[in-house]
Amino acid sequence: MVENLVEIFNLTKRFDDKVILDDISINVEKGENLIVFGRSGSGKSVLLKCIIGLITPDKGEISIMGKNVHNLKIKKLNNLRKNISFLFQSAALYDSMTVRENLEFPLIRNFNISHNVINEKIIKTLELVGLEDAIYKMPSELSGGMRKRIGLARSIITDPKLILYDEPTTGLDPITSKEISELILNLQKQLNMTSIVVTHDLICAEIIADRVIFLRDGKIAYQGALEELKTIQDPFLQNFFSNKLLNE
């Protein structure tokens, strides 16, 4: 039996007179990697922020693990957020903290666990992303790809059920982008996480995607397997997949 970790019903969000998300409904199965495509301004990042509860929709419902996100009081919402991680485009590391301090911060803030357990989780997580030697480095000492890996490490160290990725490979060269995409996929399999990935990176999507949705004018214009979307006879979609619009 299919189990949906995320269920979105008739979601609508406007900013002033502009409709950003227009009555969209999405289910995300447990363990699935869902890719969200669309041109800049099509509502992709707004969708992620609605899911995490950073933006309140004008209409509709978002259910995560059976709980309606926007009906929860702040304490219960924060408890739900402990099961969700958000990886930002920039990795959003604290520049004044070492790698170790960046990783221990969400553990100290959100969980009552011992120093020994925290230390074990930090070492194990750095090993998973291949950067155990970077534990005492500052973010300024890391390359772009290393910063993405540490951002990913901080996202998974809390053992989330759901990870939201906002352009995880932005600013990386093609080789590093491929490495980060493969790492995301491997971690998802190892840790049995569910992922929603907003990206313009077709290579990233080809590596990660179980299913793809394409937002256009605030609506879900297409959804299905990536290879199926590539074959749809639509000039806009064909142009998108020819890379002409991927970096907009």
Tell me how far CA of residue 42 lies from CA of 36, 123, 125, 165, in angstroms. 10, 39, 34, 16
The packing angle between helices 144-156 and 99-110, to 10°, is 20
User: Token digits for 177?
Assistant: 């982008």
pLDDT at 2: 64
CA atoms within 13 A on the CB side of 34: 24
User: Token digits for 35?
Assistant: 């890719």
pLDDT digits 0-9 by tens, 24-35 = 999 999 999 999
CA–CA separation, 147 and 67 (whole Å):
33
Which of 88 and 67 is assigned the larger pLDDT?
67
pLDDT at 245: 41
Write down the mean pLDDT value for the chain. 88
pLDDT digits 0-9 by tens, 197-218 = 998 888 899 999 999 999 988 8
Q: What is the pTM of this model?
A: 0.89
pLDDT at 171: 82
End-to-end alpha-carbon separation of the chain, Å?
39
Residue 106 in this model has a pLDDT that exceeds 70: yes
